[in-house]
Structure formats: structure tokens, C-alpha cells
A and B are shown apart, each in its own frame.
Chain A
């Protein structure tokens, strides 16, 4: 079993839809949970970052972490064509000098006008 599983999609939705993106993980040591957004032919950029279980909201984006189920989600409300990108979950066990992220494979999202 891979450490992080993410459905690669592709996912295509109409503008204004609510989008749900998910990752599951197997390593209980993961403590930090992130979502990166990657536009075509660009490097990934941090979108959301959370440490604990629960929800974190930032505008139209909500990150949800359920450590007991080893499941993380990203919700996008009122999706826009500009949200079309690949979304990667990223997890790590600790900070400090041994900081390494384990990435999911990414989900390609297209929001159609």
C-alpha cells in the first residue's frame, strides 16, 4: 500500500459547482497536511496548510483532516474556471531539519464556464 493515495481524476465540473478532492494515507506519523495547486507547466504552490484534525477555511477553500480515518479533503465552493489545475495533497511527519513532504499523485480538475 502506498503511503498516500489520491484519485488522479480527471475531474470535470461546471462553473459554480462544489468540488471535493480527497487523499487517504497509511502512516500515522503524518502530522502536517497540505494542499498544493499546480497550474499547467508551472511549479506547485501552497494552497492550504493544517496541522490538526478538523476544518480550516480560507475563502472558497476548506481543508478537512480526519486523523482517525487517515483521510484528508479539500472542498472548493463556487468553483471558477481559474480553479482549473492539478491539486496535490502533501503530508509530512515533522518539521525541522529532516523536513520531507510525501505527495499524492495529484487530481486534475477542470472547471467549465
Chain B
């Protein structure tokens, strides 16, 4: 049982380049999330998808776009990367019917030079 899988695990970009972080879950969960984690800032919600076909902004959405491709997959795109987007990105999912455990992936470490 893989849980939540994120790719790539590491990436280095130059300012202005674009890239997509991929996330897939195999738990048949309805809701999926993208967080970023920075030293001294904790986990901050970028975007979330309460169910297939819906997406909503979180606390720090600027500079990002998302796509809920199907129930399993939720991608995060940086159209023009900036050094301020250097961070560790976590994808998470939850069944979505009621409050409960959020399952996280292992993270994607992104450096923008």
C-alpha cells in the first residue's frame, strides 16, 4: 500500500522556469491538498481539492496552479519559478467524509536559483 506518492523528490530550477509536482494517492480519498513547509513558517496550505473536479485556494496560492486530474491525482504547477518558492512541498489526502487523519506524502524538495 503506497499511500500518497509525490514526484519528483528533489528538483533544482532556475528563476523563470516552470515545473509540475505530481501527487497520486491509492486510498480512494476524496480530498487532496498541497502544502509548503518553510523553516520557521510551519505548514501552509497552497491549494486544496475537496472532491474530483473542484479546487480552492488556500493560504498562499500566488504563483501556483493546480489540477485535479482525477480522483487519484492532484498536481501543482509553478509557471515561472521564483527563489521565494524554494521550499519543501507536501501533498496530502483525506477520505473527506468527516474529520480525520490527513495522510501525507514524503515531500518534494524544490530549490529555485
Give the interface of A toward B (CB within 8 A): 6, 8, 31-32, 36, 41-46, 49, 51, 88, 90, 92, 94-101, 103-106
Does B58 lie at the interface of the complex (its beta carbon under 8 Å from any beta carbon of A)?
Answer: yes
- Those of B34-69 within 8 Å (CB) of chain A: 40-45, 48, 50-51, 58
A95 touches B106 (CB 8 A): no
- Which one of B44, B58, B100, B105 contacts A95 once the chains associate, using CB atoms below 8 Å? B100
Interface centre among B31, B43, B45 (most CB of A within 10 A): B43
B97 touches A96 (CB 8 A): yes
Does B99 lie at the interface of the complex (its beta carbon under 8 Å from any beta carbon of A)?
Answer: yes
Complex CA–CA separation, A92 to B94 (angstroms): 14
9 nearest CB pairs, A to B: A43-B104, A95-B99, A105-B42, A95-B98, A103-B43, A97-B50, A46-B101, A32-B99, A103-B42
- Which one of B94, B97, B106 contacts A43 once the chains associate, using CB atoms below 8 Å? B106
| A31 / chain B contacts, CB cutoff of 8 Å | 99
- Those of B91-111 within 8 Å (CB) of chain A: 92, 94, 96-102, 104-107
B42 touches A97 (CB 8 A): no
Complex CA–CA separation, A98 to B3 (angstroms): 22
| B107 / chain A contacts, CB cutoff of 8 Å | 41-43
| B51 / chain A contacts, CB cutoff of 8 Å | 97
Contact A44:B101 (CB < 8 A) given known A97-B96, A103-B42, A104-B42: no
